[in-house]
């Protein structure tokens, strides 16, 4: 059995700067677990650590010209970016909570809590049905639907994020709508009313 010797960070970096995704993949394979563990230790949340890890490597790819290797390693720079990403997450969460606290309560004194609980359970059941139908779409169509239809991202912004043309995003959304219309025609018609 032969072992492939992976190049050092210093050897990889010129290729990464030139846009070599394979070289960047090697860097990701080398450090993603360490970055993830660092993010988890800072956040205490596995899901937030996943988000922060993704954000860290996205920043590393976008700012690959600016990365400073320390003693030939990209890890210290990646860990600083991870820490900064966690701080950004915290700031966003604080702003979000502050906004929620300023919103007036929707609960009425004469309202029935049972109705609210029943509505939430119904929403969760309905969302599970929708997600089951969404899983029948291709991953590319699901991504386009999630960005454009569910999150309100413009077609042009979705194209930039997905790395495809705006026409391709529109096509994916259109195909997804057609498939979903065949899968749940009654629900879509009720939603249009």
User: Within this chain, do residues 44 and 82 fall inside the same structural domain, yes or no?
Assistant: yes
Query: What is residue 84's three-state secondary structure?
Result: helix
Residue pair 56/35 in contact by the 8 Å Cβ criterion: yes
User: Within this chain, do residues 17 and 54 fall inside the same structural domain, yes or no?
Assistant: yes
Q: How far is residue 87's CA from residue 91's CA, in Å, rounded to a whole number?
A: 6
- Digit-coded pLDDT (tens) for 40-68: 988 888 888 899 999 999 999 999 998 88
Whether residue 14 lies inside any domain: the answer is yes
In this prediction, residues 2-16 reach a mean pLDDT of 83
Domain total in the chain: 2
pLDDT at 93: 79
User: Within this chain, do residues 81 and 156 fall inside the same structural domain, yes or no?
Assistant: no
Q: Which residues pair with 70 in a beta bridge?
A: 73
Which domain, by its residues, includes 46? 9-100
- Digit-coded pLDDT (tens) for 96-151: 888 878 887 665 545 577 788 887 778 777 777 877 888 888 888 888 887 888 77
Residue 170, Cβ density class (10 Å: 0-12 exposed, 13-18 middle, ≥19 buried): middle
User: Within this chain, do residues 96 and 162 fall inside the same structural domain, yes or no?
Assistant: no
Whether residue 118 lies inside any domain: the answer is no
Q: What is the CATH number of the domain that holds 39?
A: 1.10.1740.10
Residue pair 49/63 in contact by the 8 Å Cβ criterion: no
Q: Which of 172, 191, 176, 182 is nearest to 134 (CA)?
A: 176
Tell me which of 100, 120, 137 is where a domain ends.
100
Whether residue 37 lies inside any domain: the answer is yes
């Amino acid at each position: 059995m032969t072992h492939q010797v992976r190049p050092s960070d210093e050897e990889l970096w010129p290729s990464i700067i030139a846009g070599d995704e394979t070289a960047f993949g090697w860097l990701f394979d080398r450090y993603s677990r360490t970055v993830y563990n660092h993010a988890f230790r800072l956040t205490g949340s596995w899901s937030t650590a996943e988000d922060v890890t993704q954000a860290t490597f996205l920043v590393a790819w976008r700012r690959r010209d600016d990365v400073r290797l320390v003693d030939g390693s990209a890890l210290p720079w990646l860990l600083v970016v991870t820490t900064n990403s966690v701080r950004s997450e915290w700031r966003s969460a604080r702003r979000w909570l502050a906004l929620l606290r300023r919103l007036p309560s929707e609960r009425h004194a004469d309202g029935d809590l049972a109705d609210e609980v029943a509505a939430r359970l119904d929403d969760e059941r309905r969302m599970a049905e929708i997600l089951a139908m969404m899983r029948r779409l291709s991953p590319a169509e699901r991504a386009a639907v999630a960005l454009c239809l569910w999150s309100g991202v413009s077609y042009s912004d979705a194209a930039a994020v997905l790395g495809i043309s705006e026409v391709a995003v529109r096509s994916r959304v259109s195909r997804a709508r057609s498939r979903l219309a065949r899968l749940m025609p009654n629900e879509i018609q009720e939603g249009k009313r």
